[in-house]
């Protein structure tokens, strides 16, 4: 459910936003320089006369860099289509400096489907490498040196992309396959912890290798893998905990909000009393939406007594008391709302839920689980044989 920030939407596919992360824009010139620098050596390996190729090396470098990220897009598209076919929900596809991310709001329900979803990406890259290799072979000897060289270069990059992603370095595809294989025996939380440790081990190896070879790009990849493995492990543990906790145990109880017909001046007073940046809007105890302090302050002071809350309120997601905390948190993230309204069986306001409420509850329940695990471990160790 993690959202990639700092990305610009460039299109959509079946209603799924396709985004380009700002890091990709930063790394493209570097990749163009690296590929351009390897231009002569690549031409030798491809058995193509360098003097027969059009354009400057940097131009080829830029073209190959763009082709690489087009290949990454195809790789991520394979993940997305498989996830959709197996009941997953995809929020967006984001191309980044170290590859791509298919952001899932709902993963496929079975570990087997997650393994296959992870596998189809590298297999697609390897299949693309095979097709490009056949194209390279097909145009060899025809004098189409530029096409032959382009196909060879992209075939090599897709081969690397497929093989590299199969390494069991979580959260890369190979690491996700490893986690799915372990989940049947260990459960998702423990399997994620093990895969995360393996992923961080690979990240350290990549980092040392990058330092030894003065390869900054490899060090950046190592950093992203290390942070990604740690972040994924924390999220899976959070999900496992929140799925066992009801919204009623996390929320801040509240039976009244700012009345929809109240003036903005009255609403501002409520913000001062409550010391919150967002409050529910109600009518006869039933929630209608939320109002943010920024929206109230954006109205000139002289107009606040004449204008009502209904003019600046916005919709807010709603949850029931018996729902679990993970469902509620996911709904807040999907709708981009800092406030979730909790209702009782009659549809009346029972409380509110903010990220801070979830964080406090998560810490409390995780500490409780850790104490229970320690007590159970101590009991097993002290139990007479």
Name the residues annotated as catalytic: 76
164-175 core/surface letters (b: 16 or more CB in 10 A; e: else): bbbbbbbbbbbb
- Half-sphere exposure at residue 382, Cβ-oriented, CA atoms within 13 angstroms: 6
Angle (CA) 23 105 103, round 5°? 20
Binding residue ranges for Zn(2+): 75, 79, 173
Distance, CA of 223 to CA of 202 (rounded, Å): 11
Quick count: other Cβ atoms within 10 Å of Cβ 342?
25
Distance, CA of 334 to CA of 92 (rounded, Å): 11
What is residue 247's three-state secondary structure? helix
- Bridge partner list, 339: 354
For 280, phi then psi, to 5°, come to -75, 150
Place of tokens 């993970």: 326
Distance, CA of 263 to CA of 248 (rounded, Å): 31
**Contact yes or no for 195/118 (Cβ under 8 A):** no
262 CA to centre of own chain? 40
Distance, CA of 64 to CA of 35 (rounded, Å): 7
For 254, phi then psi, to 5°, come to -160, 130
Binding residue ranges: 75, 79, 173
Place of tokens 């066992």: 244
Q: Beta strand 89-96 with 99-106: parallel, antiparallel or unpaired? A: antiparallel
What is residue 321's three-state secondary structure? coil
Question: How many residues in total does the chain contain?
Answer: 385
Of 97, 83, 121, nearest in space to 6 by CA = 97
Q: Is residue 300 packed enough to be buried (19+ CB in 10 Å), middle (13-18) or exposed (0-12)?
A: exposed
Distance, CA of 99 to CA of 101 (rounded, Å): 7
């Amino acid at each position: 459910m993690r959202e990639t920030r700092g990305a610009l939407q460039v299109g959509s596919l079946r209603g799924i936003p396709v985004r380009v992360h700002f890091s990709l824009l930063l790394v493209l010139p570097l990749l163009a320089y690296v590929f351009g620098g390897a231009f002569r050596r690549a031409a030798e390996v491809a058995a193509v006369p360098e003097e027969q190729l059009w354009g400057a090396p940097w131009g080829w470098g830029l073209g190959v860099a763009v082709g690489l990220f087009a290949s990454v897009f195809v790789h991520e598209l394979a993940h997305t289509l498989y996830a959709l076919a197996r009941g997953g929900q995809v929020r967006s596809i984001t191309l980044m400096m170290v590859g791509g991310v298919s952001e899932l709001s709902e993963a496929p329900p079975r570990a087997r489907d997650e393994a296959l979803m992870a596998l189809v990406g590298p297999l697609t890259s390897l299949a693309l490498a095979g097709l490009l290799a056949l194209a390279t072979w097909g145009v060899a000897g025809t004098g189409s040196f530029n096409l032959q060289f382009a196909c060879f270069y992209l075939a090599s990059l897709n081969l690397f992309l497929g093989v590299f992603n199969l390494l069991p370095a979580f959260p890369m595809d190979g690491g996700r396959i490893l986690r799915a294989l372990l989940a049947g025996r260990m459960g998702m939380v423990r399997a994620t912890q093990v895969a995360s440790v393996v992923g961080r081990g690979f990240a350290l190896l990549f980092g040392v290798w990058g330092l030894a070879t003065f390869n900054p790009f490899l060090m950046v990849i190592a950093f992203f893998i290390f942070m990604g493995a740690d972040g994924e492990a924390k999220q899976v543990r959070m999900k496992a905990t929140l799925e066992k906790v009801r919204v009623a145990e996390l929320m801040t109880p509240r039976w009244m909000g700012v009345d929809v017909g109240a003036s903005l001046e009255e609403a501002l007073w409520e913000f001062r009393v409550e010391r919150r940046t967002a409050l529910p809007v109600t009518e006869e105890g039933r929630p209608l939406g939320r109002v943010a302090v920024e929206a109230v302050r954006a109205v000139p002071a002289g107009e606040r007594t004449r204008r009502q809350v209904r003019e600046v309120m916005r919709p807010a997601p709603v949850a029931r008391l018996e729902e679990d905390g993970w469902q509620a948190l996911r709904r807040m993230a999907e709708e981009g709302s800092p406030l979730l309204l909790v209702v009782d069986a009659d549809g009346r306001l029972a409380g509110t839920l903010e990220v801070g409420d979830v964080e406090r509850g998560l810490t409390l329940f995780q500490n409780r689980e850790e104490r229970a695990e320690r007590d159970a471990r101590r009991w097993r160790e002290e139990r007479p044989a």
